[in-house]
Amino acid sequence: MKKRVVITGVGVLSSIGIGKKAYWESLANGKSGIKRISLFDASNLRSQIAGEITDFIASDYIDVKEAREMDRACHFSIAAAEMAVKDANIILNEDAGVVVGTGLGGITTDDAQHKIFHTKGPRFVHPLAVPMAMYNASASHISMRYGLMGPGFTIATACTSGTHAIGEAYRLIKDGYTDVVLSGGTDATISEGIFSGWCALRVLSKRNDMPETSCRPFSKDRDGMVLGEGAGFVVLEELNNALRRSVPIYAEVIGYGTSYDASHITAPNAKGQAKAMGIALKNAGIHLDEVNYINSHGTGTALNDKVETETIKTVFGEKAYSIAVSSIKAMIGHTLGAAGAIGLVTCCLAMQDNIVPPTINYTEPDPECDLDYVPNNARKVELNVVMSNSFGFGGNNGVLILKRFDKEG
């Protein structure tokens, strides 16, 4: 007998707010967190803007001495995980698991240590460079912090990491491996080396003089994505475990789908994306008509938004035109491995208030993107079933489906 899985806690860290309250208030009001980069000197780069978090103090969450031995992405994940645990009002026991997604792990450490190696020499490289930079550092620190000895691992599927992490965590509970999993995604990639790589790939917006209106998903004048950073976490719980504790339930996770495009290392592919969506819908056992909202991948590149629109139309047919579809990346940028997790937290908050966040900076309709993108202003929508998409580099697709909790199922 498969178990039912519900979300009882959320935590989020983003350029428009730390914590669910601040984040949701900014998001519902269409506030942009995109600004000129301050983490390093970007003045010589093609793109000089990002969804940088400027008000986060790691020592608010982590002992100063410990924080010094962790990458920024790890700081983010610990903070967001802590918020989710508090929100769920749960005392985690050693059977609980932890599954974390990250696109680039400790890349800030990696970048900095390479620079030291090349400028000062090998003797000056940090003795903890390896455990700081490794992709699984976040999950391991979280497991140690809460004494979690249950199932867990780290997933690195680029921009889909967060969605895959929560999807796999959902499966762990559904299949009876454990009753509670702390799961989410994190990335802190606004670091000069790798950021230069994004610039060379020519996919970033160049609206350097208008950061707040730079990222324009689905709008005809979109000129690329904007990088963001942050983390999103949820507490996933087996239904009876949550009912025993008598805690509020944000939503039930009812569907998860994953697929490969098997076509190109960076370009998206509608057939591969539709496959993930189809698997998630089948897994959820719902009718297409039941989906009220799609939290899109919506990066703001010419190709992504066009292909994602095509995918939604392929899967939903005519029904696609009556679903609200929006992109939070217009406001917080693309947080890579955190994106799917922050997207899912967004879905939980949206369901709680029956409010769909807007796609801001939408100025001009694109004939190739002709769905309802909830342009510029949030909207009141009765939400019962919502879908969250992630379509990453490497052709990695992930789709999660949530349903408003109903004890009868």
Partner 1 sequence: METFDEIEQQVRSIIAEELQIDEQNIHKSSTIEDLGGDSLKALMIISALEARFDINISDEDAVKIKSFPSIIEVVRRLTGK
Catalytic residue ranges: 159, 297, 334
Which amino acid is residue 377, in one-letter code?
Answer: N
Instruction: Tell me the C-alpha distance between 31 and 375, whole Å.
Output: 13
Q: Residue 66: exposed, middle, or buried by beta-carbon count in 10 A (0-12, 13-18, 19+)?
A: middle
Which residue, 28 or 49, has its beta carbon nearer to partner 1?
49
Q: Is 265 a residue that touches partner 1 (CB under 8 A)? A: yes
Q: Residue 287: exposed, middle, or buried by beta-carbon count in 10 A (0-12, 13-18, 19+)?
A: exposed
Residue 347 three-state SS: helix
Residue 241 three-state SS: helix
Stretch that binds partner 1, among 14-22, 52-60, 200-208, 371-379 (CB under 8 A): 200-208
Q: Please, what is the minimum distance in Å from the beta carbon of residue 215 to partner 1?
A: 16
**Taking the CB of residue 398, how many other CB atoms lie within 10 A of it?**
32
Residue from 201, 244, 263, 364 that binds partner 1 (CB under 8 A)? 201
Stretch that binds partner 1, among 9-17, 60-68, 187-195, 258-266 (CB under 8 A): 258-266
Site for partner 1 in 14-33 (CB under 8 A): none
Which residue, 195 or 373, has its beta carbon nearer to partner 1?
195
Write the DSSP string, 318-337: GGGGGSEEE-THHHH-B-GG
Q: CB of 253 within 8 A of CB of 6?
A: yes
Residue from 130, 200, 210, 262 that binds partner 1 (CB under 8 A)? 200
x/- letters, 39..78, toward partner 1 (CB under 8 A): -------x--------------------------------
Write the DSSP string, 281-305: HHHHT--GGGEEEEE------HHHH
Q: Please, what is the minimum distance in Å from the beta carbon of residue 271 to partner 1?
A: 18
Q: How many residues bind partner 1 (CB under 8 A)?
A: 9
Q: Please, what is the minimum distance in Å from the beta carbon of residue 48 to partner 1?
A: 14
Stretch that binds partner 1, among 3-11, 264-272, 285-293, 348-356 (CB under 8 A): 264-272
Q: Please, what is the minimum distance in Å from the beta carbon of residue 200 to partner 1?
A: 6
Which residues does 212 contact at the CB level (< 8 Å), separation at least 6? 32, 34, 35
Q: Is 221 a residue that touches partner 1 (CB under 8 A)? A: no
Q: Please, what is the minimum distance in Å from the beta carbon of residue 202 to partner 1?
A: 6
Question: What's the Cα-to-Cα distance from 107 to each of 18, 72, 354, rounded to whole Å?
Answer: 22, 9, 37
Largest separation between any pair of C-alpha atoms in the chain: 64
Q: Please, what is the minimum distance in Å from the beta carbon of residue 223 to partner 1?
A: 8
375 φ, ψ (degrees, to nearest 5) = -65, 125
Which residue, 46 or 271, has its beta carbon nearer to partner 1?
46
Give CA torsion, residues 310, 315, 317, 320, to 10 deg: -70
Which residue, 57 or 201, has its beta carbon nearer to partner 1?
201
Residue 104 three-state SS: coil
Instruction: Find where tokens 């984040």 sit.
Output: 23
Residue from 206, 220, 271, 319 that binds partner 1 (CB under 8 A)? 206
Q: Is 263 a residue that touches partner 1 (CB under 8 A)? A: no
Q: Please, what is the minimum distance in Å from the beta carbon of residue 208 to partner 1?
A: 13
Binding site for partner 1 (CB under 8 A): 46, 200-202, 206, 264-267
